[in-house]
Amino acid sequence: MRSLPRCVPRIVLGLLLFRAAQAAEPFPQAVLDQARVIRERALSDDVGYDLLRSLTTEVGPRSAGSPGDARAVAWALAHLRALGFKNVHAESVKVSHWIRGEARAEITAPWPQPLLPVALGGSVATPAGGIEAEVVPMTTLAELAAAPAGTVKGKIVFFTQRMQRTHDGSGYGTAVAVRGGAALESSRLGALAVVIRSIGTDDNRLAHTGAMRIADSVRTIPALALSNPDADLLENQLASGQSVRLRMLNTSVWGDSAQSANVIAEVPGAARASEVVLLGAHLDSWDLGTGAHDDGAGVATITAAARLIGEARPAPARTVRVVLYANEEHGGQGSRGYVRRHGAEIPRHVMAMESDLGAFPVLGVASRVPLDLLPVARTMASLLAPAGARFLGNEAGGGSDVGPLGELGVPLLDVHTDAAPYFDLHHTANDTFDKIDPELLRQNVSAFATLAYLAAQYPGDFGRAVKPKPAR
């Protein structure tokens, strides 16, 4: 802990001491008791599971700007109203709109074989007749950057890096740079197109899509993802030492920007209604599956959690706000739109939480609160100990939707779930409702409901959170 500067006025010091005293016994016993009631009630509540069945059955794929996206907004408004939330409304967001076409790829030499690719999000189309060229393998962007000039010119670059399967999701953070930069960096060097080994950890013949970086100054080139089995096959052919050629076709195009919306619903606070505990998830999904884990599970989790809080008596002091964000996957306009529209209100956002890692086992809770409030965060996390959750420190970052609120100082709580199975399904056609374990979904609802209730009832002030260290 930093030592206090000499000029700290006595009144501030007094407040800090008061806060420390609070932290020792941060919650009245009645609040803790009620939190435990909510926690247990969630474990036998199937509102979330039923919502998720409804979303995946009646809406399904809902990529930004698509007809499914519009249906999802209508679905959310109807269901949030039916569940008794207040102030249910849509806040219009202009979203980018990429339209997936057909993607094909086949090895033409030395041994012809078909592959089952998918286009990466934002990939431009090939010429109508496709592209056929020699394949140049590269492990990572660093290897590409270090390659002799001309290595990839006129070629199809194949990025072979394999994502590691980890419980904390760190394998994704390491691997995803290739997806983001493959097309951009290869185009700078004159490549015709790229294929990448999917950023995913399963061995199914279902490739993983996802967003890419683009730059106005660089011509974009077609980019496909291959499943791990197809990437293995291509590597096995390359291992022969012979020239390997690929033919690929993609008919995806960018459409005009489209209208979508963040959908918002509230459980109004009883005593401090202007103070907001925000629960976020994203309503859009990639288009290959039905977005069951990504992020239908998040939509279901936070909605069911907020509903349980709304049923609690006495009602929570602060307002619990559900925000279903537009286009997390392919532009992030929902998150930015929320910050823009609610800028004046953000100082009264006392806590933000995001569910966007599927409905898998809850492993722990991380916070980002002022350091003197760490005991409060620890107490909150300790209520999830019966589910096996540990307190994981004060390095919470939020997800991509509430992270920007964190950057503005809003305290955060992250519920860490097992990321290993998530990245088997993430951004594939396999992300479907049958993969949802209702018990694990209830466990997630329980975690969010418990923590959000405590945040809404905390008698003190969470203040503004310390900015994370740059090294993080």
Kindly list the residues in this chain that would bind its own copies in the complex (CB under 8 A). Answer: 53, 56-61, 67, 110-114, 116, 203-206, 228-229, 232-233, 236-237, 240, 289-290, 428-430, 432-435
Residue 65 beta carbon to its own copies: minimum distance, rounded to whole angstroms:
16
State the Cα–Cα distance between residues 322 and 302, nearest whole angstrom. Answer: 7
State the Cα–Cα distance between residues 158 and 232, nearest whole angstrom. Answer: 12
What would the two tokens of residue 279 be?
């629960």
What would the two tokens of residue 365 be?
């809770």
Give strand pairing partners of 414. 366
Residue 60 beta carbon to its own copies: minimum distance, rounded to whole angstroms:
4
Task: Output the CA–CA distances (angstroms, integers) from residue 112 to 195, 234, 248, 284, in the order listed.
Answer: 17, 11, 13, 38
Task: Output the CA–CA distances (angstroms, integers) from residue 371 to 53, 393, 459, in the order listed.
Answer: 41, 10, 17
> How many C-beta atoms lie closer than 10 Å to residue 440's C-beta?
18
User: Angle of helix 297-311 relative to helix 438-457, nearest 10 degrees?
Assistant: 50
Residue 68 beta carbon to its own copies: minimum distance, rounded to whole angstroms:
8
Residue 203 beta carbon to its own copies: minimum distance, rounded to whole angstroms:
5
What would the two tokens of residue 2 be?
């930093």
Q: Between 109 and 392, whose beta carbon lies closer to its own copies?
A: 109
Residue 228 beta carbon to its own copies: minimum distance, rounded to whole angstroms:
7
Q: Between 23 and 116, whose beta carbon lies closer to its own copies?
A: 116
**65: DSSP letter:** T
Sequence-distant (≥ 6) Cβ neighbours of residue 99 within 8 angstroms: 66, 252, 253, 254, 255
Q: Between 81 and 205, whose beta carbon lies closer to its own copies?
A: 205
Residue 74 beta carbon to its own copies: minimum distance, rounded to whole angstroms:
12
Residue 293 beta carbon to its own copies: minimum distance, rounded to whole angstroms:
13
Q: Is 378 exposed, middle or buried (0-12, 13-18, 19+ CB in 10 A)?
A: middle
**433: DSSP letter:** G
Q: Is 32 exposed, middle or buried (0-12, 13-18, 19+ CB in 10 A)?
A: middle
User: What's the gap between Cα 295 and its chain centre?
Assistant: 7
Residue 71 beta carbon to its own copies: minimum distance, rounded to whole angstroms:
8
Q: Between 289 and 361, whose beta carbon lies closer to its own copies?
A: 289
Residue 441 beta carbon to its own copies: minimum distance, rounded to whole angstroms:
16
Q: Between 204 and 382, whose beta carbon lies closer to its own copies?
A: 204
Residue 51 beta carbon to its own copies: minimum distance, rounded to whole angstroms:
13
Q: Between 162 and 464, whose beta carbon lies closer to its own copies?
A: 162
Q: Between 40 and 203, whose beta carbon lies closer to its own copies?
A: 203
Sequence-distant (≥ 6) Cβ neighbours of residue 18 within 8 angstroms: none
Sequence-distant (≥ 6) Cβ neighbours of residue 281 within 8 angstroms: 295, 298, 299, 301, 302, 323, 324, 325, 354, 355, 356, 401
Q: Between 202 and 401, whose beta carbon lies closer to its own copies?
A: 202
Q: Between 88 and 206, whose beta carbon lies closer to its own copies?
A: 206
Residue 111 beta carbon to its own copies: minimum distance, rounded to whole angstroms:
5
- Which residue type sits at 108? T
Residue 366 beta carbon to its own copies: minimum distance, rounded to whole angstroms:
31
CB 209 within 8 A of CB 225: yes
Q: Between 184 and 429, whose beta carbon lies closer to its own copies?
A: 429
Return the exposure string of 248-287: e unless at least 16 CB atoms fall within 10 Å of the residue's CB, then b. bbbbbebeeebebbbbbbbbebeebeebbbbbbbbbbbbb
38 three-state secondary structure: helix
Q: Between 180 and 229, whose beta carbon lies closer to its own copies?
A: 229
